[in-house]
């Protein structure tokens, strides 16, 4: 069910939807048959429904639950249950209590009721729900009328309040819009009120002809078609306004509607083209997917109907003369297709093309700088990202791609200052590879220092580039301030789980584009040499090149502590 809205502090009521169809359920017959109606309330963010406790403010009258007045605690789901000893039927509906700070509220308890008044004619407007409130009131309710938030009396003499109703004597465009009626009444020495809205529209005069009219095609219209091609027959018709009247437009083929045809070549599409003051212009398009020669002798009729009458017109088909433009179109289409294929090839293989170009014309940075490491890997310690950094990234970069990798927990000397050694390692590296994680800002003290050092080197032109690797999805508000400011100049790579594990995946290809170029060696040779150099250098620096040195190196690498 759609949400029922009630203004905070105003009277509201819910009608049990079970009784909205009297042919299925009738309150009087259900009550006489031994059924009882119970109401339950399910507040927001709760799982257990609670029975309604009736009091002066909350009461039940037949199939209606009254809130006099409603407050914010009344918001939630309401379940009305019809039960006897052998059966139980229930249905739920939503109630939303909203606040309004103006005298003319934009929200009301019900969907606006549509009222249509013909031009230059009159009508009496009554406030919805007034009769229901009169049954609960101790005295006759009073009604105040508003038009577009302006209280009666209005500026003209064509609208006048008589009793509880608003009389419109001569309708015009100026009188269209939303009309609010506010009902006030007294119940048990308590003044209550509620607001309803009417959406009033001016429609064409009731004295004008209401027969529908077909605008196109007419008796002189011919549809030019080509054999073997698709053809579209368009029927356009106008329907004058008639309240509670159906409007229909359809095509027939040899007197049969499309629903009864076995030929699947025919299909129909309907749509509303325009609506002005209740008068509608509708269009029906008949599509013939493949025109055959016998279709030229077939009778195609467009028909329209409303409660005032019926009209039909025949569509005439005419075969189009042959034109050599088909061959010209095929040639142009082939040229465009070739260009499209070339564009798609570049779009799909652009990474491979860039890597190939880079291998031919790129420069090996090892011969132009005095850096010691190719890559410095930065990550948040004690997390899933640490396992990804030290196992996956380190293993591929060192053993398969042959890069010299620096990891602080493995390559730093014992007893040194963390800040000084971090700045030193970052400054001696050509790339800073930062593994982002949701806890980067809160748990990544060491990682933040490494990121700040890398960004400072980039800003000072220190021949260092920062590469971001997003291991898990990271929301924008979780990015630290340095990353937000520098995001537009940094390369961001996303790890996509199993899709990125293979060395031929887009992740590793993009990472190779961002890493320093290595010329003159094959990947397998580079991987073996670099791995041996890394182990020898680490053992020499720490003074642990001994029969037990290999075991000490593994403990430092996996745990990060000695």
Q: For the beta carbon of residue 537, count every other beta carbon within 10 angstroms.
A: 13
d(CA 438, CA 380): 10
For β-strands 165-168 and 123-125, DSSP reports them as antiparallel
d(CA 538, CA 411) in angstroms, rounded, equals 6
Q: How many CB atoms lie within 10 A of CB 526?
A: 19
508 neighbors 516 (Cβ within 8 angstroms): no
Element (H, E) at 361: helix 350-361
∠ CA 315-320-326, rounded to 5°: 135
CA distance linking residue 483 with residue 491, whole number of Å: 11
CA–CA separation, 77 and 520 (whole Å): 72
| Distance of alpha carbon 554 from alpha carbon 560, whole angstroms | 10
3-state secondary structure of 55: coil
State the Cα–Cα distance between residues 451 and 227, nearest whole angstrom: 69
What 503-509 contacts at long range (C-beta under 8 Å, 24+ apart), as own/partner pairs, is 503/396, 503/400, 506/351, 508/396, 509/351, 509/352, 509/355
User: Which of 279, 276, 273, 245 has the alpha carbon at shortest distance from 173?
Assistant: 276
Contact between residue 64 and residue 13 where contact means Cβ atoms under 8 Å apart: yes
Strand order in the sheet with 373-378: 405-406, 373-378, 429-436, 465-470, 491-494
Euclidean distance between the first and the last CA atom of the chain, given in angstroms as a whole number: 65
- Pairwise CA distance, residues 124 & 131, whole Å: 16
Do 2 and 105 contact (CB within 8 A), yes or no? no
Name the residue among 219, 220, 228, 214 with its Cα closest to residue 296.
228
Tell me which DSSP letter residue 19 carries: G
Paired with 190 in beta bridges are 187
Neighbours of 398 (CB within 10 A): 22
Inter-axis angle of helices 523-542 and 549-559, nearest 10:
100
Q: Which residue has the tokens 């379940």?
A: 79
Q: How many CB atoms lie within 10 A of CB 13?
A: 22
Catalytic (active site) residue 290: no
Inter-residue contact 235 to 270 (CB < 8 Å): no
Catalytic residue among 450, 482, 514, 550: 450
Say if residues 289 and 265 touch (Cβ distance below 8 Å).
yes
For the annotated catalytic residues, the residue numbers are: 450
């Amino acid at each position: 069910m759609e949400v029922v809205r009630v203004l905070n502090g105003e009277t509201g009521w819910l009608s049990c939807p079970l009784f909205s169809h009297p042919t299925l359920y009738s309150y009087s017959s259900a009550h006489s048959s031994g059924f009882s109606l119970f109401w339950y309330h399910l507040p927001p963010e709760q799982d257990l429904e609670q029975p309604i406790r009736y009091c002066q403010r909350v009461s039940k009258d037949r199939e209606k639950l009254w809130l006099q007045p409603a407050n914010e605690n009344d918001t939630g789901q309401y379940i009305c249950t019809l039960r006897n000893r052998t059966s139980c039927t229930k249905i739920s509906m939503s109630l939303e209590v909203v606040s309004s700070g103006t005298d003319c509220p934009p929200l009301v308890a019900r969907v606006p009721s549509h009222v249509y008044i013909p031009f230059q004619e009159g009508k009496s407007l009554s406030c919805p729900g007034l009769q229901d409130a009169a049954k609960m009131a101790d005295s006759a309710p009073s009604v105040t009328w508003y038009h577009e938030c302006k209280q009666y009396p209005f500026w003209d003499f064509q609208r006048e309040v008589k009793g509880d109703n608003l009389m419109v004597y001569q309708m015009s465009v100026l009188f269209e819009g939303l009309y609010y009626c506010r009902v006030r009444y007294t119940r048990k020495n308590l003044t209550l009120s509620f607001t309803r809205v009417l959406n009033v529209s001016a429609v064409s005069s009731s004295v004008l002809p209401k027969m529908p009219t077909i605008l196109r095609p007419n008796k002189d219209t011919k549809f030019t078609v080509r054999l073997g091609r698709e053809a579209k027959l368009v029927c356009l018709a106008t329907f004058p306004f008639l309240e509670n009247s159906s409007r229909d437009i359809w095509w027939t083929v040899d007197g049969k509607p499309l629903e009864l045809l076995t030929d699947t070549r025919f299909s129909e599409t309907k749509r509303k083209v325009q609506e002005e003051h209740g008068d509608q212009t509708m269009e029906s398009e008949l599509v013939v997917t493949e025109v055959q020669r016998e279709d030229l002798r077939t009778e195609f009729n467009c028909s329209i109907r409303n409660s005032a009458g019926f009209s039909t017109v025949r569509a005439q088909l005419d075969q189009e003369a042959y034109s050599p433009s088909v061959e010209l179109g095929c040639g142009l289409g082939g040229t465009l297709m070739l260009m499209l294929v070339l564009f798609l090839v570049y779009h799909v293989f652009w990474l491979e093309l860039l890597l190939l170009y880079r291998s031919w014309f790129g420069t090996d940075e090892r011969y132009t700088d005095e850096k010691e490491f190719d890559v410095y890997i930065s990550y948040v310690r004690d997390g899933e990202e640490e396992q990804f950094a030290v196992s996956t990234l380190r293993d591929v970069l060192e053993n398969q791609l042959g890069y010299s990798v620096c990891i602080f927990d493995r390559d730093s000397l014992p007893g040194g200052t963390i800040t000084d050694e971090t700045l030193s390692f970052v400054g001696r590296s050509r790339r800073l590879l930062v593994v982002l994680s949701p806890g980067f800002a809160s748990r990544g003290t060491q990682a933040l220092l490494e990121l700040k050092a890398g960004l400072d080197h980039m800003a000072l032109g220190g021949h260092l580039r920062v590469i971001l690797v997003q291991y898990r999805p990271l929301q924008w508000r979780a990015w630290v301030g340095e990353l937000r400011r520098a995001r537009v100049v940094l390369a961001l790579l996303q790890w996509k789980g199993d899709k990125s594990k293979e060395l031929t995946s887009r992740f590793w290809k993009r990472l190779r584009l961002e890493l320093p170029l290595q010329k003159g060696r094959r990947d397998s040779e580079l991987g073996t040499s670099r791995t041996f150099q890394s182990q020898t250098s680490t053992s020499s620096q720490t003074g642990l090149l001994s029969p037990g040195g290999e075991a000490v190196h593994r403990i430092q690498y996996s745990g990060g502590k000695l």
